[in-house]
Amino acid sequence: MSTDLVRPRESVKPETIPEEEYMFSGHAACPGCGGALAMRHALKALGEKTIVVIPASCWSIIAGAFPSNALQVPLMHTAFATGGAAAAGISAALQMQGDTETTVLTWAGDGGTFDIGIQALSGAAERNEDFIYACYDNEAYMNTGIQRSSATPWGAWTTTTPVSKFKQEPKKDIVGIMVAHRIPYAATASVAYLEDLVYKFRKAKSIRGTKFIHILAPCPPGWKSEPSQSIKIARLAVQSKVFPLYEVEKGEKYTVNVWPEKPRPVREYLQLQGRFRHLSAVDLETIQHNVDCAWEELVKKAKESGTC
């Protein structure tokens, strides 16, 4: 059981994950897929009055080939680059019909968010279009063969960054980019902290304008990890401060949601993934240093916001 300090909330109790299911069990996700678990609970939070937009990604396959669909809500498959634009169009159509109850949710991978889809996402965010954009981040182009993306962390193996030339660039700060748009709400979430994930989707649903939720989604084939270890890996990402859980409101108010009571060394997170097996002790020290610096910067922003 996790001993992390989870900040109490007034609007959502920890035990209030809805029982209703809006995702069928017969989907096509790999065993241990973080993206599938995240979708299941996002829909629990949002309910049946939801329209999902899925750009090209693993979820284009997970949902099933036409006429099949793993979701019990309307679903629109769209091109890789158009997650933000398609959601903006659906949102505008609902407004023209006077529908203020249906939530539009874009569900995109890191390739369709950090890279190929960032132009449409940025344009929609600048206009403050009314929808939720969720990025389930498995840190590479997994659906097409584990190629490097700008979400791939420093040091990682992919098929396009082999061990001899592993990823040399840091992971793009996508939440920082969205915060710079000064959208009403941006947050991180994890499949290892499902109450927190449900809370954030509920909160995003209650806010008008563009909302962005960044979800770390372990991928056993791409991360070279055991399917049974996905939740443990996701939890260690938070406990080691590699993937902090926090919210940013209106581009300026930072709130850290989970404070690791006994932070774990980053190596414990990395050693469960074969994609980092080649790293040296010096490499691990470099990653630990960078993680510590990023955490200190986040805490500084939260303190300046008066939330800790």
The pLDDT tens digits of the residues spanning 203-247 come to 999 999 999 999 999 999 999 999 999 999 999 999 999 999 999
Domain boundaries, the chain: 34-304
Angle between helices 194-205 and 34-46 (to 10 degrees): 50
Q: Distance between CA 197 and CA 231 in Å, rounded?
A: 14
pLDDT tens track for 258-285: 999 899 999 999 999 999 999 999 999 9
> In the prediction, which pLDDT does 68 show?
85
* Contact predicate 207/185, CB 8 Å: yes
Q: Residue 9 pLDDT > 90, yes or no?
A: no
**What does the mean pLDDT of the chain come to?**
94
Q: How far apart are CA 307 and CA 265, in angstroms?
A: 26
pLDDT > 90: what percent of the chain? 91
Measure the CA–CA gap between 272 and 155, rounded to whole angstroms: 15
Whole-structure pTM value: 0.94
Answer whether residue 12 shows pLDDT above 50.
no
Can you tell me the mean pLDDT for 284-291? 98
Q: Which CATH architecture has domain 34-304?
A: 3-Layer(aba) Sandwich (3.40)
Residue showing tokens 């396009």:
160
C-alpha Rg value of the chain to the nearest Å:
18
Q: Dump pLDDT digits (tens) for 44-80.
A: 999 999 999 999 999 999 999 888 899 999 999 999 9
